Amino acid sequence: MPSSTAAPERSTTDRARARRRREATAGWLYALPSAVIIVILFLVPLGLAFWMSLNDWPLIGRPEFNAPDNYAAIGQNQLFLDSVGFTLKYTVVTTVIYLVIGLALALLVQNARPGVGFFRTAFLLPSAVGLASASLLFYALYNNDYGPLGDIFGFFGLPVPDFLGTPDNAFASTVVMVTWRFAGFNMIILLTGLQAIPVEVYEAARADGANWWQILRQITLPLLKPTIALILVLTITGSILAFEPFYVLTAGGPSNSTVTMVITMFREAFSLYDLGSAAAIAMVLLVALVAINALQLALFRDRDTAGRRRFFGRRAAITEEERR
């Protein structure tokens, strides 16, 4: 008897294992195209760039292994060291401006009102313009010889600034351009986060007598943390990798005052024809970006989880109290 009952059990176990193997094989086959694309478009170029960073790799000629000279040279590259400070300054300024203006625009068009669709579209339209195209457009606007801004300042009797001629003006002019380009895009992301907040939460807060500032500080911003984390990742990554705005508007000038880290890498590769040094800078940038984004995601995840636990804990307590 024991042998007659054990056989069906083994048969059932074997069928379950065979089904799990088929499902695992199907899963690998579904993931295979994506894996091939990732290997070809990401891992292979990344491996090649790392190998280039370990060699003296001229634009024309045979490369020679010279590790770790390219990495040691980064610490002696004064242009790169200066560009690190400038890039960090640009990243902090643009991140704060993007968040404040994006949130203000999102709050402005959050509720359904007559004409709100027009303003949402108008705010979003600049993000449809390519970054290089937007830079060329503003380069024409800032030009004092044929651009309209000089005439507008003159019409109102104001002194005409040299928009791109001094370090501070060049920095401010570039920040204005990228804010115009990215504010609408950040507004849409934040608007999506705002509309995911339950309306009942706002109604309960208003019923308790909370004013606009208290609702923003105690409800809106805490529940927007996942969306804000996404904005930070996109903004910080894009700002650290800034290239087109400064390359088109200022070409790193005046006097190398607006040279970013990516422009330094570009000059090493295509002005000095030292691809190995440029690849070493790219590796340093990659490691820095991964570390920064991992750190901020970890910080926001822990705080967001704790905040959600407190929020839903309070809601559960209120519900239990109402039942009693």
What is the tens place of the pLDDT at every residue in 15-64?
A: 888 899 999 999 999 999 999 999 999 999 999 999 999 999 988 888 89
116 and 232 housed in the same domain? yes
Contact predicate 100/175, CB 8 Å: no
Give yes or no: residues 47 and 76 share one domain. Answer: no
Domain shared by 56 and 87, yes or no: no
Say if residue 58 is in the same domain as residue 85: no
For residues 115 and 173, state if they share a domain: yes
CA triple 9-10-11, angle to 5 deg? 90
Q: Are residues 33 and 77 in the same domain?
A: no
Residue 321: which pLDDT band, with cuts at 50, 70 and 90?
low
Which pLDDT score, from 0 to 100, does residue 110 have? 87
What is residue 43's DSSP assignment?
I
Asked whether residue 322 is assigned to any structural domain, the reply reads no
Given this model, what pLDDT does residue 290 score?
93
| pLDDT tens, position by position, 79-136 | 999 999 999 999 999 999 999 999 999 999 988 888 889 999 999 999 999 999 999 9
The confidence score (pLDDT) of residue 179 equals: 96
Is 14 inside any structural domain? no
**Spatial contact of 263 and 243, defined as CB atoms under 8 Å apart:** yes
**SS3 assignment, position 63:** coil
pLDDT at residue 310 greater than cutoff 80: no
The DSSP symbol for 48 reads H
Considering the domain architecture, whether residues 44 and 188 belong to the same structural domain is answered as: no
Q: What is the mean pLDDT of the chain?
A: 88
Give a yes or no: residue 287 inside a domain.
yes
161-170 — which CB contacts under 8 Å span 24+ positions?
164/139, 164/249, 164/250, 164/254, 165/254, 166/254, 167/254, 167/255, 167/257, 167/258, 170/249, 170/250, 170/253, 170/254, 170/257, 170/258
What is the reported pLDDT for 314?
A: 54
Confidence of residue 305 (pLDDT cuts 50, 70, 90): low
Tell me the whole-structure pTM to 2 decimals: 0.83
**Phi then psi dihedrals of residue 209, to 5 deg:** 90, 15
| Position 229 in a domain | yes
Band of pLDDT at residue 304, cut at 50, 70 and 90:
low
6: in domain: no
Evaluate whether residue 11 is within a structural domain. no
pLDDT of 322 > 90? The answer is no
Number of domains in the chain: 2
CB atoms within 10 A of CB 257: 16
CATH code for the domain in which residue 229 is found: 1.10.3720.10
Of the ranges 150-154, 290-294, 300-304, 308-312, which one carries the lowest mean pLDDT score? 308-312
Distance of alpha carbon 25 from alpha carbon 227, whole angstroms: 36
What pLDDT does residue 210 have? Answer: 87
CA distances from 153 to 150, 156, 172, 250 (A): 5, 5, 17, 21
pLDDT of 302: 57
DSSP symbol at 28: H
Residues 155, 26 share a domain: no
Torsion, Cα 180 185 189 190, to 10 degrees, reads: 10
By residue range, what is the domain housing residue 298? 70-304
The mean pLDDT value for 231-237 works out to 92
CA–CA separation, 115 and 117 (whole Å): 5
For residue 5, the one-letter residue type is T
